[in-house]
Each structure stands twice: as C-alpha cells, then as structure tokens.
Structure 1
Amino acid sequence: MGHSQADKARNRERILNEAATEIRDKGLDAVSIGGLMQRVNLTHGGFYGHFASRSDLIAEALQQALAAGEAAARASRDPDKPVSMNSLARSYLSRTHRDSRKTGCAISALISDVGRADEQCRVVMEPHIEAFIAKVAHVLGDDARAIIAVSAMIGALAISRVVTDPKRSDAVLRTVRDGVVAMASDE
C-alpha cells in the first residue's frame, strides 16, 4: 500500500528537521543517512524517495537550519523597538547564544564546515551572510563597516564556543560586542 503525498511531505519534513538539528550540533559531516533514517523511524532505502543524494539532503538541511536561526533571532527581538547595533550585538554576542549551538545562528555554527563543503552548500549559505551584512549595513549606514562587524561577530561567537575557560569565553564575547557597538558611535 502506497503512502499519500501528505504522508510523504510529513516524512520529508521530519528528515529535514532531524538533519538540520544534527548539522547545527555536530557539523555537516556528522549526518549518516542510515542513522538519520533510523532516528525518524524510516527505512534507509526510503531516503532516495525524498532526496536524490546525501549532498541534496545536506544543502536542504543547511537551508532549513539557516532559516530557523534567522526566525529565532526575529522572534527574540522586540518588534516595537528599532534595531540598533547595541541590541544586535548584545543579542548575538551573548552567553545564551553561545550556549545555543543547536538553535542559534547556523552561520557561526557551520561557517568552517561550509567553507570546506561543495559549492551547493556555499551557494545556500552565501545569501544568508549577505542578508546579515545588509541588516548591519542598514544599522551602521556603511557596507564596509558592516562587513567588519559581521565578520567579527561570527568569528567571536565561533571562538567563544571553542574557548573552554568560561571567563575567557565571556571576555571574547564582551570585547567584540563593545568593539562593534563602538563602530556605531564612531559616526
């Protein structure tokens, strides 16, 4: 007996959700098709009814992870307050964000993996980086400073997740946060 299109769509969504969570937590290379399909209670062979290849799955899961991170950022922001460099930096360069690799910004969680990945993954992430830069450029009024600020914030968040000393990790976040906020007042 066949599955309905609705069932197939729900199964595909379950696969993507699980893969997106896994890549945010463990990286692009962590996804094993067999393990993934087992976790969503589907057969390994059924995978190819949803995706042409592992590369296609990874690219789509990356897209989903990036969109989920952006949605979480929007949800945490007060829509009645204008976006400022101070509010943006305080939210992005916070302990909460540092400690939320599975739900935070997928760019910072996966930037190194995507830099080594196939072009398909780089093409998926690139517009999200450009959108982040554009958002910061809108706040700072300058594309060059926005590139510096975004690069510093992504790098600081990634570094703070590597540093094992909590005080030093906090110092990385605080120092870069103060630096990018100062960029907004240097006008």
Structure 2
Amino acid sequence: MGHSQADKARSRERILNEAATQIRDKGLDALSIGGLMQQVKLTHGGFYGHFASRSDLIAAALELALHAGEASAHAARDPDKPGNISTLVRSYLSRAHRDSPKSGCAIGALISDVGRADAQCRAVMEPHIESFIAKVAETFGDDDDGNAILAVSAMVGALAISRVLTDQKRSDAVLRTVRDSIIAMASDE
C-alpha cells in the first residue's frame, strides 16, 4: 500500500471511529457530515473520497458501533466464570450501562433510530440482534429461543425506557423490575 493509500485508510478509520462515537451518543440523525469532518480535521469535500454517501457512512459507523459494544460486553465478562443469565441481565440492566450509551450496547442506544432508518442500516443491525438472542438462548440453555426473544426485547426496551425517564428512582425501578422478572423467568426453567 502506497503512502497516500495508507493515509487514506487512516483518515477513513478516524472518520468511522468519530462517526460511531457520535451516533452512539446522539443518534443517527444527529450526524452532520460537515461537523464530523471538522472534528477529524478533514475537509467536507474530502468525505466523498471515503464514502459514496451519508447512508454508506452511517451503515459503516453503525457496524463499528455494534462491534465496539459487543467487544465492551465481552471484555467486562469474567473469563473464569461461566456465563449465566443473572450475570448477563444484571450487567445489561445496570445504572452504569444506562448512564453510558456512548460505550454500552449500540443496539440499546440505537434501536429506535435504526427502526426508522433505511434498509441498509436495518440490515446492519439485524444480525447483531439475532446474535444477541442466540447468546441469551445459549445462556438460558434454551433450545427454543422464545424466552431469549422475550428477554432481549425486555432488556433493550427497559434500557431505552430507563434512559428516557428523568426521575432516577423511576428509571432504576424499570431496570430492577425487568431484571428481576427475567432472572425469575430463568430460574423457573
């Protein structure tokens, strides 16, 4: 790879990293190409040397954000302890996770935005949702993924609702109620 190709690859990586951070923090619609390029100290016109369109950038940044969220969750797990539903749910439905959409699960942070986005973005997120369901089903020890679908839907929904509520006690109650219900459901298995 020539010098200019290496520079271009580094610039693209900077753009993607900043875009992924911005969309996790503020959502898909808040991403401004001009503001993004200014943030990474590149020209607005230079954007099109890296991406064909804003949609292509958002899809690529979304993929990066989803992988980063998964990597963060994986790094937080104790490799010496077997995964169990209680640990997973307590971590996902925690105050720390609620209060850090920039570094937490990108599904939880962006589910509503992606639901309204174009087919390209929905296609990017879909396999990550399926993977999350499969992981929860495996943790449940569930051959039928019905409980995992219910648990993932409840966790993502509770996380989103808890981030909207301005009353912290009420927000905590949403997290606690769903967390306790999923753990109880798992112990009934």
Check whether TM > 0.5.
Answer: yes
The alpha carbon displacement at 1:35 in A equals 0.8
2: distance between equivalents of 1:100 and 1:66?
A: 14
SS for the counterpart of 1:29 is: coil
1: distance between equivalents of 2:123 and 2:108?
A: 16
1: distance between equivalents of 2:147 and 2:138?
A: 11
SS for the counterpart of 1:30 is: coil
For normalisation by structure 2, the TM-score amounts to: 0.96
2: distance between equivalents of 1:3 and 1:172?
A: 53
Are 2:180 and 1:186 equivalent residues in the alignment? Answer: no
1: distance between equivalents of 2:4 and 2:159?
A: 43
Are 2:15 and 1:12 equivalent residues in the alignment? Answer: no
Aligned AA (2:19): A
2: distance between equivalents of 1:59 and 1:125?
A: 9
Aligned AA (1:126): E
- The superposition leaves residues 64-113 of structure 1 with CA deviations (integer Å, 9 ceiling, x where unpaired) of 00000000000000011111010000100000000011000000110010
User: Could you list the runs of 5+ residues in structure 2 that have no partner in the other structure?
Assistant: none
Aligned AA (2:135): K
2: distance between equivalents of 1:153 and 1:165?
A: 19
Are 2:122 and 1:122 equivalent residues in the alignment? Answer: yes
Deviates more, 1:140-149 or 1:126-135: 140-149
Aligned AA (2:90): R
Residues 7-156 of structure 1: matches in 2 within 5 Å?
Answer: 7-140=7-140, 141=142, 142-156=144-158
Identical positions, percent: 80
Aligned AA (1:168): R
For normalisation by structure 1, the TM-score amounts to: 0.98
Aligned AA (1:31): L
Q: How large is the Cα RMSD of the aligned pairs? A: 1.0
Aligned AA (2:187): S
User: Could you list the runs of 5+ residues in structure 1 that have no partner in the other structure?
Assistant: none
2: distance between equivalents of 1:83 and 1:163?
A: 30
* Structure 1 segments (4+ residues) deviating >3 Å: none
The alpha carbon displacement at 1:3 in A equals 5.8
1: distance between equivalents of 2:9 and 2:54?
A: 18
The alpha carbon displacement at 1:162 in A equals 0.4
1: distance between equivalents of 2:61 and 2:163?
A: 22
